[in-house]
Structure 1
């Protein structure tokens, strides 16, 4: 997590320091009494929210917008400014997401996953991770995905 007053003096802080920075931010904003408890990846106690089962696909990109809006009170920060998704409590406006590591990228759709490896090899898989016989991507989907992949890349 970069911190600093200008881009030329950014430094990286470790995960424990990130947790400390988040705790200090929560204290500073007066939100300590609104702390959320995540008991497992599929079970979150969120004070002030009506208990419900969420049946939509959620991804790790939903966490930052949810914390900003519902835990830290940043109502005016559009989710697309900080993440590739819209938050846990918002209806998704797209039917795809992306996942990646240092070496591979994946486009995850409802009925397929398109995975590119470090050598440029592409695998198309079904929801059960078996090879999918055919797949066609629309030009609009390809454009949206390429835009999203480059949005936070400053190099």
Structure 2
């Protein structure tokens, strides 16, 4: 079954002086302020598209890794994933770096790294991001 998720952005004003809000319409779980300074200067009082992309990437990766581990008979106790998405004005999104720490009883570090690499390559958000480099650091906690 295909599921379509919706978000809406309302923007007012010019790129540099304007601002907007992003609403998570499907889940109705949040509305976030956005502006250009957060994106181009790292001002942290609002979110930006790359932070939202990082949220999507870290969630998707964690789900893919959990699923693969569980199917292989190694259900994880916990997975923590941070996705650091880099943006540069004029160049765009330059990459996503996944930093992963997990508790998975019965796995060696090498086995875990192989599962993490597979999830990095095959989670749907990673596949949607094929135009940028995706790197990973994965370790057992």
The TM-score range, normalised by the shorter chain, is under 0.3
Which structure has more relative contact order (CA 8 Å, sep 6+)? It is: 2
Structure (1 or 2) with the greater strand fraction = 2
Larger gyration radius, structure 1 or structure 2: 1
| TM-score, normalised relative to structure 1 | 0.26
